[in-house]
Structure 1
Amino acid sequence: MNRTTPMPAIVDRDAFQAELDALRVREKAHTREGDAIAAARRRLPMVEVDAGIELTGPDGPVSLLDAFEGRRQLIAYYFMWYPGRPAAEQCEGCTWITGQVTELSYLHSRDITYAVLCQGPFEESMRYRDFMGWRLPWYSAQAAAPALLAGRRVGMFHLVCYLRDGDRVFETYWTTGRGAEVMDYSYALMDRTVYGRQEPWEDSPPGWPQGCSYTRTAAGEPGWPPAQRPAGRPIAQWSRLSAGRSDDLGPAGSHG
């Protein structure tokens, strides 16, 4: 953006407030509809899954039931993975979403555990977790994903909710794609700004900046055209490199 980037029309305070009041009616309707959808979500039926299906954690094999950490509910994010690829080539979408989830105490207060079930090998993906500085519960679901996702596309991120009843586990909800934006606050805040997310798919006035590339940039650039995404890396990685961390995910790599 620069000083020649188009801007909204300039009006007086009364005209601005009138337009905002009209929009607020739609915002409130949107909020109420969201509440109604959440109420319907709470009334969905559920399906039983194998509580003993094996994941890999820091101490070796664990069951899906173990991942609940004794709580009644589990929210699992299935992190996409590209085996053998360096950090720069890992999924920018999964990196963006996972980086938003930092404070788990509010979930824990409602008897909910949150965990990442990575679709790649444990040791390699754990090095990526450490490179990013995340402290979320992390497991490999590389072998378990086909059974857990039950016909859904393996190799794509999913957000799945589970309920535990004693030693039995049930799946109560799942979503993918933009449904996982519920984990994010950055885009929600961008949506309140005049230029929005600055991505090509958005319905914006002519001339509005729309050159950003879905959470991936090249060094020193605020945004990057989608056709040149391979030149960049997930946005959140740049600060980790600046802090001196190595993004080598190989067995001998330093990830401190």
Structure 2
Amino acid sequence: MTENDSSAPAPDRAPALPPVADRAAFEAELDALRVREKAHTREGDAIAAARRRLPMVEVDAGLELTGPDGPVTLLDAFEGRRQLIAYYFMWHEGHDAAGQCEGCTWVTNQVRELSFLHSRDITYAVFCQGPYEESRRYREFMGWDMRWYSALPSNNELLTGRQVGSMHIVCYVRDGDRVYETYWTTLRGVEVMDYNYALMDMTVYGRQELWEDSPSGWPQTMDAPPEHPMRTNGRPIPQWSRIEAGRSDDLTPGP
């Protein structure tokens, strides 16, 4: 491990532990919690069912995006599929990689295998809210291979009524050449893209972030301030492996 490896354990950590119980008492407590977990799952299913019954609003299918070969339309981004999930990536123009959004880096870094989405006639793409060439270099720095567009030519129209410059997931469906928006989320809604937090939430110490309701003595070891929990040693956490591999922070477009 290197000094920048966020997976390295803190050598002086001596966290508190839950009380010890016998197997029967442990299983009884777990069974009681399982009732709540199952209710939570059923409520999630009910919310998803309600989401499928929302009305939709038409969006101009000709709104311009910028792709690797220049201008394309929102309709083009469907790539012929019926549905489109677009992640609107926050962007800090003119900053190097370390200065980019750690939250967007965190969730985008989870998106790897798209065949399951494709099997349901869904295209996934990133709509970066910054210029194409600069943001494309960040995509290459991170080693991502999902479809990447700049939404800068149409940010205000695509995100009408919402905060431009914030993280959003927006879902679309098309009917022939007409495009409709069916759902959108923001802020913690983007956690659906991540599995790390879901796994952390199953552990005894959770996410180890300051806002969590944890017993006294539980570790809260993030070295970032509370508003930047996905950073360590001054940059988004998954960037360290890219830096150690020799990739450049510089996102200035080349010739």
Task: Flag structure 2 segments of 5+ consecutive residues without an equivalent.
Answer: 1-9
Aligned to 2:201: 191
Match of 1:42 among 44, 48, 52: 52
TM-score normalized by the length of structure 1: 0.92
Aligned pairs, number: 240
What is the match of residue 107 of structure 2? 97
Paired with 1:177 and 1:15, the residues of 2 have a C-alpha distance of 38
Provide the secondary structure at the position in 2 that maps to 1:143: helix
CA distance in 1, matches of 2:147, 2:254: 23
Q: Partners in 2 of 1:106 and 1:202 — Cα distance?
A: 33
1:216 to 225, 228, 231: 231
2:97 aligned with 1:82: no
**CA distance, structure 2, for counterparts of residue 246 and residue 184 of structure 1:** 26
Q: By how many angstroms is 1:211 displaced?
A: 3.4
Unaligned runs of 5+ in 1: 219-231
| Match for residue 240 of structure 1 among 236, 239, 242 | 242
- Which letter does structure 1 place at the counterpart of 2:21? V
Which whole-Å CA distance do the structure 1 matches of 2:118 and 2:62 have between them?
23
Secondary structure of the residue aligned to 2:46 is: helix
Matched letter for residue 232 of structure 2: T
Deviations 1:39-86 (A, max 9, x none): 000000000000000000000000000000000000000000000001
Paired residue type of 2:235: R
Work out the percentage of aligned pairs sharing the same amino acid.
75
Q: Which residue in 1 is equivalent to 2:4?
A: none
* Aligned counterpart, 2:163: 153
Alignment pair present for 1:59 and 2:69: yes
2:180 and 2:159 mapped to 1: Cα distance? 13
- Residue 251 of structure 1: which of 246, 250, 253 is its match? 253
Give the letter for the 1:174 counterpart: W
The residue correspondences of 1:164-183 to structure 2 (distance < 5 A) are 164-183=174-193
Give the aligned CA root-mean-square deviation in angstroms: 1.1
Distance 2:242 2:189 in 1: 28
Matches of 2:55 and 2:44 in 1, distance apart?
19
Over 2 Å off, 4+ runs: 1-4
The residue aligned with 1:144 is 154
TM-score (ref. length: structure 2): 0.92
SS at match of 1:144: helix
User: For the residues of structure 2 that align with 1:192 and 1:199, how far apart are their CA atoms?
Assistant: 14
Task: State the match for 1:70 in structure 2.
Answer: 80
Q: CA deviation at 1:97?
A: 0.5
- Contact 2:107-2:194 at 8 Å conserved across structures: yes
Name the CA distance, whole Å, in 2 between partners of 1:184 and 1:168.
31
The secondary structure found in structure 1 opposite 2:116 is: helix
Looking at structure 2, the residues matched to 111 and 31 of structure 1 have their Cα atoms a distance apart, in angstroms, of 25
CA distance in structure 1 between the aligned counterparts of 2:116 and 2:14, rounded to whole angstroms: 44
Q: Does the 8 A contact of 2:173 with 2:181 survive in 1?
A: yes
Alpha-carbon shift at residue 3 of structure 1 (Å): 5.5
Aligned partner of residue 85 in structure 2, secondary structure: strand
Q: How far is the alpha carbon of 1:148 from its aligned partner?
A: 0.5
Distance of 1:52 and 1:3 partners within structure 2? 55
* Aligned residue in 1 for 2:5: none
